[in-house]
Amino acid sequence: MQTFGELIDHGDALGQVLQSTPVLEAVEPPLSEAQGLVLEGDLYARFDSPMHENSAMDGFALRSADAEVGRVFPVVDEAPAGSPATKGVGEGEAVKVFTGGVIPEGADAVVPVENTSGYGAEFELKSPVRSGANVRGSGEDVREGELMLSDGAEIGPSEIALAASQGYGSLPVRRRPRVVVFSTGTELVEPGSRELSPGEVYDSNSYALLAQAREAGAGVSRMASATDDPGAIRSAMSQALESADIVVTSGGVSMGERDLVKEMLLELGVEQRFWGIKLKPGKPVFYGTREDVRFFGLPGNPVSAMVCFELFVRPAISRMMGRREREDPGRPRTEVYFDEAVENKFGRTHAMRVSLTRTDRGWRAESVGAQGSGLISSLTKADALAMIGPECEGVAAGEPVEAIVLRPGVLTSPETPAGG
Ligand code: AMP
Ligand code: MG
């Protein structure tokens, strides 16, 4: 029987993953495909935006010095968005303008049509107009040469808007990692295919891991589960290793006779980096590399698989995408405390599923209940993983504990009850 040997610390394991995982090369996809990716290099404004002074309203451009209430203005030209007027505005004159229309020569203010007698060859001014009213200054959004987005910025809708407004049709970003997931286990049945026979379970892990990888920003694909048979595992594995930057499997990495994943990997030339972590849940995690491919063999217990994905695979995806260490916007860290002492006699870091409540002392963590590694329903209740130990045998009531927030929305949710 193969045994784990010395288990490594959770922090060391993460360190090894990050240290052996490169940032992927830069690519330049069209804007519409850059969402969720990380900018490579700083991005500067190409020109003053808006390029020209323009109107913020539909109305008339005029000289504010002429703007006495009751005065009648002849309308000498018009300037819809996209076609500047050919005439300037002389003393006592006005040019009809539309929102976005360029402010004509001579004018310094726009009076909205509702403050006049209305459209026509002339109009009467109904209310005063100060200089600069309803005029958008050139360069008031960004100035030519200004740093708009810094290297490492996560591209979301606002970043796409800004880049597009400056005429960028594509953006240099780090390539999206390709993650392939599959489960191993003879007992597994494809959800939706048929009823279970005694002893069988539906393959929930590959769907869970697929969703987690996608949530982390990876390009994902899932393969059908492999039985606990050397041939089946080897052929699934070699297929996955062909096309992936990261392969994630579940099951078959413990010390049982049917736990063949590690053996098959070594046969296929994957170099073992570690196997066995001082972690609960998730002790038997295997991590290895083969050239450019990272391989994570996660345990089959559904909670272990998902928690270990959070702790090791997600950071690897983030690294490949070019996010800075510990700057995963989707997984902020925060200090939490427990109302009562929490023991940890396992000698391993306990990644404890907790719910969070805001109180006047900070974030109070509370166990979601039983912490068994098969309790998938517990994950739907967890806001965070509180990382306890292993250097201590638990934490005292009120003692600060670092937590990885799985649902960043709770940190800002107004619904979180205050008090406590
Ligand atoms: P293993 O790590 O292969 O020993 O599996 C540990 C436990 O997790 C067993 O109870 C398995 O039935 C269960 N399990 C393994 N793979 C999956 C999966 N893909 N989906 C749901 N449960 C699984
Ligand atoms: Mg198994």
CA distance 365 to 358: 9
* Res. 3 pLDDT band, cuts 50 70 90: confident
Determine the atom of ligand 1 nearest the C-alpha atom of 228. Answer: 3
pLDDT of residue 404: 97
CA distance 20 to 70: 76
Ligand closest in space to the Cα of 249 = 1
Beta-carbon contacts of residue 195 (< 8 Å; ≥ 6 apart): none
Whether residue 95 sits in one domain with residue 152: no
Asked if residue 325 has pLDDT above 90, the reply is no
Asked if residue 360 has pLDDT above 70, the reply is yes
Whether residue 201 sits in one domain with residue 260: yes
Using one digit for the tens of pLDDT, what is the confidence trace for 254-307? Answer: 988 889 999 999 999 999 999 999 999 999 999 999 999 999 999 999 999 999
> Helices 314-321 and 205-216 sit at what angle, rounded to 10 degrees?
30
**In this structure, is residue 325 part of a structural domain?**
no
CA distance 296 to 316: 10
Whether residue 94 sits in one domain with residue 16: no
Whether residue 230 sits in one domain with residue 92: no
CA distance 288 to 267: 12
Mean pLDDT value across residues 318-330 = 90
Best of 2, 301, 375, 377 for a ligand 1 pocket test (most atoms within 8 Å of beta carbon): 301
Asked if residue 418 has pLDDT above 80, the reply is no
* Res. 242 pLDDT band, cuts 50 70 90: very high
Mean pLDDT value across residues 205-216 = 98
Taking alpha carbons only, the member of 200, 272, 222 closest to residue 8 is 272
Contact 58, 113 (CB under 8 A): yes
pLDDT of residue 205: 98
**In this structure, is residue 260 part of a structural domain?**
yes
Whether residue 270 sits in one domain with residue 235: yes
pLDDT of residue 420: 44
Whether residue 253 sits in one domain with residue 192: yes
- DSSP assignment of 189-243, as one string? E-TTT-PPPTT-EE--HHHHHHHHHHHHT-EEEE---B-S-HHHHHHHHHHHHHH
What average pLDDT is seen over the chain? 95
pLDDT of residue 100: 96
Whether residue 289 sits in one domain with residue 153: no
pLDDT of residue 419: 47
**In this structure, is residue 88 part of a structural domain?**
yes
* Residue 262's CATH number: 3.40.980.10
* Number of structural domains found in the chain: 4
**In this structure, is residue 3 part of a structural domain?**
no
Instruction: Select from 289, 320, 351 the last residue of a domain.
Output: 320
Binding-site residues, ligand 1, Cβ < 6 A: 183, 185, 187-188, 201, 203-206, 250-252, 254, 256, 299-302
Which domain does 58 fall in, by range?
54-136
Contact 390, 417 (CB under 8 A): no
Using one digit for the tens of pLDDT, what is the confidence trace for 177-204? Answer: 999 999 999 999 999 999 999 999 999 9
* Res. 350 pLDDT band, cuts 50 70 90: very high
Whether residue 290 sits in one domain with residue 184: yes
Residue closest by Cα to atom 15 of ligand 1: 300
* Residue 41's CATH number: 3.90.105.10
Taking alpha carbons only, the member of 335, 372, 376 closest to residue 352 is 372
Going from the Cα of 250 to the center of ligand 2, the distance in angstroms, rounded, reads 8
Whether residue 145 sits in one domain with residue 34: yes
* Residue 121's CATH number: 2.170.190.11
Whether residue 290 sits in one domain with residue 220: yes
Ligand closest in space to the Cα of 286 = 1
Whether residue 90 sits in one domain with residue 210: no
Asked if residue 415 has pLDDT above 70, the reply is no
Is the pTM here over 0.85, yes or no? yes
pLDDT of residue 391: 79
Going from the Cα of 19 to the center of ligand 2, the distance in angstroms, rounded, reads 30
**In this structure, is residue 43 part of a structural domain?**
yes
Asked if residue 414 has pLDDT above 80, the reply is no
> Helices 314-321 and 10-19 sit at what angle, rounded to 10 degrees?
30
**In this structure, is residue 94 part of a structural domain?**
yes
Asked if residue 248 has pLDDT above 50, the reply is yes
Mean pLDDT value across residues 40-54 = 97
Using one digit for the tens of pLDDT, what is the confidence trace for 95-153? Answer: 999 999 999 999 999 999 999 999 999 999 999 999 999 999 999 999 999 999 999 99
